[in-house]
Amino acid sequence: MPHNVIRILLVDDDRVDRMAVERLVQREHLPYILTTASSQKEGLEKLATEQFDLVMVDYMLGDGTGLEILTKIQATTPVIFVTGSGDEGIAVQAMRMGAYDYLIKDPERNYLTVLPQTVAKVIERRRAEEAVNKLSRVIEQTADTVLITDRNGTIEYVNPAFRELTGYSEQDAVGKTPRILKSGTHDAGFYKSLWETVLAGTPFRAEFYNRKKDGAIYCEEKTITPIRGAQNVITHFVATGRDISARKRAENELRTAKERAEEATRMKDKFVSLVSHDLKGPLGTMLGFIKLTKRDSFDALDSETKGRLDIVIQEGERMNRLIEELLSISRLKTGKIQPRCRFFDGFYLAVKAAMSADFNLKTKGITLLNKVPQKTRLYADPTLFEEVIQNIISNAVKFSRPGDTITLFVPEDHPTTIAVSDTGVGIPPEVAPKLFLYDVKTSTAGTAGETGTGLGLPLSHDIMLAHNGDLTVVSKPDKGSTFFATLPHLRPIVLLAEDDFVAMKMVHALLSKIDVAVMAAKNGAEALQKIAEVKPHLIITDLNMPVMDGFELIQRLKAEEATSQIPIIVLTSAGAEERERVFQMGVDDFVSKMAMKEELVPRVGRIIG
């Protein structure tokens, strides 16, 4: 049914009056659905079975009066009371009993002319009351606390949720101020900020630590909103809140547990570091003397004793590797090892890593293929990344059989990934997800009975994470495994400090051949400003520039810890004396402007790959 259609019950024992109202509705096309009743009894029956938006009831009915209907309705439906001329006193009585309005009948039925306006006024009032009642029920029944004060902060209303949370009854709170809730947790500045905010007309949001009536402290997430009245003047404040004590306790418990766990980890790492360090020296001494004894007494020892010494040396060296890995893990976890990243060619790193495994490869009859292309530009700490690749190769050798092949390559579409693939025995599916966990033992004997510490792969995984990279594996039993050491893709940033426009254009053209981003500065001061905004991977600078020359620029860069490790190439026409001076200042290379076309790109390439 449309919202503007009004359902009206007309109770009148006068048939002519009923018909007059019906004709009015039809003639004026009033949006009413009119139902009529000719007696008190019929009217009450219809009210019991149907719903109406409004009741018009005459005072004098054949079987009673309209006042009796008004009593039985009990204000559930708005009533317009209709009475005859001279019965104004009855109309007043009806209004006191809850009628919304009244009409005085006249013989000419002129009262019907004001009927539509009277109905509209009553319906509008009823809908306004319903809206107010709805809002009142919302405030009364909401789970959030609601507190209303006047402009001076005197409490005028508190809802049931407030009373339940704080323990203050309506009588306890109304007439007081919210100071009854103060716990002493917040300082004067907190409340000063609160009042300045709300008096400026802005809602104030904060977490309040308040005190209940019984003295218990609770935490409430609260919003205090100014309410404006006539002329946009603030007249009241409404505070709505939600008890978050349980959440805060959980957060505090979680924070405490986290701090304890971190402290325990720090203590463990420190303990491991100290123990490992203390073991390393004596173990090295023992191994040294055992090897010396075996060498010096080799001819005098029988084969059984030599075998026993070999076992001692082998186990000692295994223990030494374990200590080295424990120390590396400890340094990485405690921040003593920080990746010192630079660009390098992944091809040469792969060659070096492969060479370290050459003896074991030949011993087991395994072929290693290095398919990493030359000029594979990577950005990492070369020493740490090489350790990762060595660990992966060592793992591949351990689980490969004579005749198997290990291949180093760069996967297609992943130019900053070094992959190590083998045709060995593979990794069981249930073991693969645990390979990089310290607290799960996954180390097993190799194909030739080799043993390991089980720490190499977890350490390698941590090293990759420290580079914002990743270490992953794909494997099938009896088909082999492939490990992927992935580094972030970075385009080298080169800062060029050069005041000569022609030289600057020349450098730009030359560097465009090796895929780098170039920032330009016309002097040393401008260069420092740009470096503060974006840290470059390489600086190329002239020496003779206005405002700040290259010498001062180099001196300032080397004096600051944040920039002291940035490689610097000097580009100038200066002579041997100045060249020697800048080398003593710590620059990495020197290129003469006369030989720039031939020498700049190769020298830049040695630094950024």
485 SS3 class: strand
Distance CA 94, CA 81 (A): 7
Residue with more model confidence, 314 or 250: 250
455-493 pLDDT, tens digit per residue, is 778 888 888 888 899 999 998 888 889 999 999 988 888
Residue with more model confidence, 543 or 262: 543
What are the C-alpha distances in Å from 455 to residues 326, 332, 439, 498? 8, 13, 10, 50
The pLDDT > 90 percentage for the chain reads 31
- The pLDDT value recorded for residue 589 is 86
- The pLDDT value recorded for residue 582 is 79
Strand partners for 4: none
Q: What is the mean pLDDT of residues 535-563?
A: 88
- The pLDDT value recorded for residue 608 is 81
What percent of the chain is helix, strand and coil (3-state, nearest 5)?
50, 20, 30
206 SS3 class: strand
228: pLDDT confidence band, cut at 50, 70 and 90? very high
What's the CATH number of domain 6-138, 3.40.50.10490, 3.40.50.460, 3.40.50.2300, 3.90.1300.10? 3.40.50.2300
- The pLDDT value recorded for residue 65 is 84
- The pLDDT value recorded for residue 273 is 58
- The pLDDT value recorded for residue 508 is 87
Tell me how crowded residue 201 is: count the other CB atoms within 10 A of its CB: 11
31-51 pLDDT, tens digit per residue, is 999 999 999 899 899 988 999
148: pLDDT confidence band, cut at 50, 70 and 90? very high
Distance CA 572, CA 600 (A): 12
* Strand bridging mode 367-370 / 405-409: parallel
* Strand bridging mode 480-486 / 417-422: antiparallel
Distance CA 497, CA 587 (A): 14
Distance CA 150, CA 322 (A): 73
Q: What is the mean pLDDT of residues 558-571?
A: 87
The most confident of the ranges 69-73, 318-322, 323-327, 495-499 is 495-499
- The pLDDT value recorded for residue 437 is 80
Six token digits for residue 80: 């317009």
Give, in words, the CATH class of 142-243: alpha beta
Architecture of the domain delimited by 342-486: 2-Layer Sandwich (3.30)
- The pLDDT value recorded for residue 280 is 61
- What string of DSSP letters covers 415-436? TTEEEEEE-SS---TTTGGGTT
The pLDDT > 70 percentage for the chain reads 88
Helices (H), 541-588: 550-559, 576-584
For residue 156, pLDDT beyond 90 = yes
49-70 pLDDT, tens digit per residue, is 999 999 999 988 888 888 888 8
- The pLDDT value recorded for residue 269 is 63
Q: What is the mean pLDDT of residues 530-537?
A: 90
Tell me how crowded residue 88 is: count the other CB atoms within 10 A of its CB: 12
- The pLDDT value recorded for residue 322 is 64
- The pLDDT value recorded for residue 218 is 93
- The pLDDT value recorded for residue 563 is 87
- The pLDDT value recorded for residue 334 is 59
- The pLDDT value recorded for residue 453 is 59
- Of 237-251, 252-266, 337-351, 523-537, the poorest mean pLDDT is in 252-266
432-445 pLDDT, tens digit per residue, is 788 888 666 656 66
Q: What CATH superfamily classification does 493-608 receive?
A: Response regulator (3.40.50.2300)
How buried is residue 507: exposed, middle or buried, by Cβ count under 10 Å (0-12/13-18/19+)?
Answer: buried
> Are 101 and 122 within 8 A, CB to CB?
yes
Tell me how crowded residue 375 is: count the other CB atoms within 10 A of its CB: 10
174-192 pLDDT, tens digit per residue, is 999 999 999 999 999 999 9
**pTM confidence score:** 0.50
Helix axes 456-466, 303-333, angle to 10 degrees: 30
User: To the nearest whole number, what is the mean pLDDT of the chain?
Assistant: 85
Residue with more model confidence, 270 or 411: 411
Residue with more model confidence, 24 or 575: 24
For residue 448, pLDDT beyond 60 = no
For residue 204, pLDDT beyond 90 = yes
364-411 pLDDT, tens digit per residue, is 889 999 999 998 889 988 888 988 998 899 888 888 889 889 999 999
At which residue do the structure tokens 């009831």 appear? 57
Distance of CA 500 to the CA centre of its chain: 47
Residue 236's identity, in one-letter code, is H
- The pLDDT value recorded for residue 455 is 74
